[in-house]
Amino acid sequence: MSSTIEIDEEVEALGPRARKKRETRMKILQAALDLFSEKGFEGASVRDIAARAGVIHGLIKYHFNNKDELWKAAVDFLFERQDREMAPPAGYHDLPQKEQAKNWIRRYVHYCARHPEHARIMVQESIRDSDRLRWAVKRHIGPLHERARQIGEQRVEAGVYPDIPPHAVIYIISAAAQSPFMLSAEVALAEGIDVTDSSEIDAYADALIAFLFDHRAR
């Protein structure tokens, strides 16, 4: 499932020329994410990315200079979008810890369904160590995990999460939320399920929440 480009209020406020430049840049970044996640850094050519974005090849160099800078800009775009889309809704911090956890997981499942390229591009890079992976960990993943550890400690104290290593909590939940959407073709063939269907996404979020929390109450 390819992600769509959402034109935010900041883009709408720009003049026509600046808006066109911004929209073109966003199309290139999304095309880069899609192809880097499908083929890896080495397999995705700049020309293929330009074709996917519907722009001429020279615009890639104009906006990003080279392929390595394009990859970094695409990953910046990816994590900035995650921060924006995963921002807590009104009243979230007034909820009990367990309800906060459930709310976050539901929103994260929907995020993973909208953007399967997020998990896929990280898998592509994590197959082997690389300077790109080290850059992404230092710039984005490490700080995210540090915040997750702090929240996890609070939820362990509240009895929401079991007292297990923080990294285990992070990877158990993230892998569970990501996997059916990252492996959508396998799920369709093995189970006959279209994981892009909104009802299936809701049902999966319900199932994950029940598996992690609700069954322990019985």
pLDDT one-digit tens code per residue, 22-77: 899 999 999 999 999 999 999 999 999 999 999 999 989 888 999 999 999 999 99
What's the CATH superfamily of 9-67?
A: Homeodomain-like (1.10.10.60)
Which residue's entry shows tokens 């396998």?
186
pLDDT given for residue 98 in this prediction: 96
Give the number of other CB atoms < 10 A from CB of residue 206.
14
> Where exactly are the structural domains of the chain?
9-67, 86-217
- How confident is the model over 72-108, as pLDDT tens digits? 999 999 999 999 999 999 999 999 999 999 999 999 9
**Intrachain domains 9-67 and 86-217 with the same fold:** no
State which fold the 86-217 domain adopts.
Tetracycline Repressor; domain 2 (1.10.357)
